[in-house]
Copies of this chain bind each other. A is one copy, B any other.
Amino acid sequence: MPKLWNQTIEEHRRAVRDTVLETTAQLVAEQGLRAVTMSRIAEQSGIGRATLYKYFPDVESIIAAWHESQIRAHLDELAALRDRPGTPGERLESVLERYAFIQQQRHGHGGELSALLHRGDHVAHAEQHLRRFLQSLLAEAAEADHVRDDIAPDELTGYCLHALAGAGSLSSKAAVKRLVAITLSGLRPQIALSDHTPHR
């Protein structure tokens, strides 16, 4: 049964790859980028150096692959929130909140790693994907009157992404939630100014 045999090899390769990615991410988080070598990664992953080199040519390529898998996992997570039951407004809210928490976590990686990570083509690609994704969710929410329709969804998308990037400098979960609440207020359908002039 060659097919099953191939599947087993494929699963094995994927397991090794995943272990290497996780180990590397952990080593970088603990010791910083400069301290991490191919030898350390092989040792910590429990495989030989020669085997490691069959998978990846250098540390940078492992980190890029790890980052790519992180981005993919985040996009999948956001898509799952979008596809849940609920009104477009509710689903938009959970997507934006999750996105803001991802921004907060991401910032934890520190400068040297994010400078390295943001070079790759896969980042530009993922950003485009995210923009299209949010844009269609915002259009859907505008259609349902949960989001303002006086401004085009692509401009609302740009606003959301920039405003929520601010989560990167917030330290508490509560502050992130407040940022999401402010950002959502900006997205709400606007009523005539005379209707909501504040009264003391």
Contacts and interface: CB of A to CB of B under 8 A. Distances in A.
B158 A169 contact: yes
A80 to B, nearest CB: 26
Interface string A125-167: 0000000000000000000011010010001101101111110
A78 interface: no
Interface string A36-67: 00000000000000000000000000000000
A183 B185 contact: no
Residue of A146, A166, A189, A195 most packed against chain B (CB within 10 A): A166
B158 A200 contact: no
B151 A198 contact: no
18 contacts: A148-B185, A151-B181, A151-B182, A155-B170, A155-B178, A155-B182, A158-B170, A159-B163, A159-B179, A162-B163, A182-B186, A183-B186, A184-B186, A185-B185, A188-B196, A189-B196, A189-B198, A196-B196
